[in-house]
Structure 1
Amino acid sequence: MKCVHRAPTLLEAQLAADALSSLGIATHILNANAAGALGELPFLHAQPEVWVDDDSQASWAREVLAALHAAAPRTERICPRCAERNPGNFLSCWQCGTPLAE
């Protein structure tokens, strides 16, 4: 087994593991319940980690996760109608429903 991803939250670790599992890469999440030990454990030792079962798939898994991370929208979109801030992946404003420009 090899560690391919250290996530800031359990949700992000689960999303990464699910993405890899959908490609046939068997994974395990370690430190899933270690957040309660923060303060007793160093911060980096309490973060959830995604591990692959097959060491030969580790580099592929890292490439997949890097591509997913790079493709994630990071910008905000401002609604032209109500000026509300919306995440970059929204197609319409969550506040008023106005379509957001590309």
Structure 2
Amino acid sequence: MTRVHVAPTLLDAQLAVDALSSLGIASRILNAHAAGALGELPFAQAQPEVWVDDDALATRASAVLAALRAVPTGPERVCARCGEPNPGNFLSCWHCGQALPD
């Protein structure tokens, strides 16, 4: 196993594992419950970590996660159906689900 990501939150770690899983890269979260030990453990040792099971896929997994963090947000977009403003990185409207134009 190889560590490919240290996440600031458990949610961030789970999103990373889900992204890797969608590409067929088996991974797991270590330190998932260590936040309860903050104060007893140093902060850096209590952060959730994403590890891949296959060491041969570690470089690919790191590249995938780096690319996800580097996604530009772009300008805000307004939904054509409901008129709701959406952040630039959304693919569909958060309010009505309509696909947003590119």
TM-score by length of 1: 0.74
> 1:13 corresponds to which residue?
13
Mapped contact 1:16–1:50 kept (Cα < 8 A): yes
Mark the CA change 1:21 to 1:92 in structure 2 (over 3 Å): closer, same or farther: closer
> 1:88: how far off?
3.7
Q: Within 2, Cα distance between the matches of 1:76 and 1:45? A: 37
**RMSD of aligned C-alpha atoms?**
2.5
Bigger shift: residues 64-73 or 9-18: 64-73
> 1:48: how far off?
0.4
Secondary structure of 1:4 counterpart: strand
| Percent of aligned positions that are identical | 66
> 1:92: how far off?
6.6
Q: Within 2, Cα distance between the matches of 1:66 and 1:9? A: 16
Q: Where does structure 1 differ by over 3 angstroms across 4 or more consecutive aligned residues? A: 85-88, 90-94
Unpaired segments of 5 or more residues in structure 1? 80-84, 95-101
Structural mapping, 1:61-100, within 5 Å: 61-73=61-73, 77=76, 87-90=87-90
Secondary structure of 1:25 counterpart: coil
> 1:41 corresponds to which residue?
41
- The amino acid of 2:14's aligned partner reads Q
Mapped contact 1:76–1:86 kept (Cα < 8 A): no
Unpaired segments of 5 or more residues in structure 2? 79-84, 96-101
- The amino acid of 1:33's aligned partner reads H
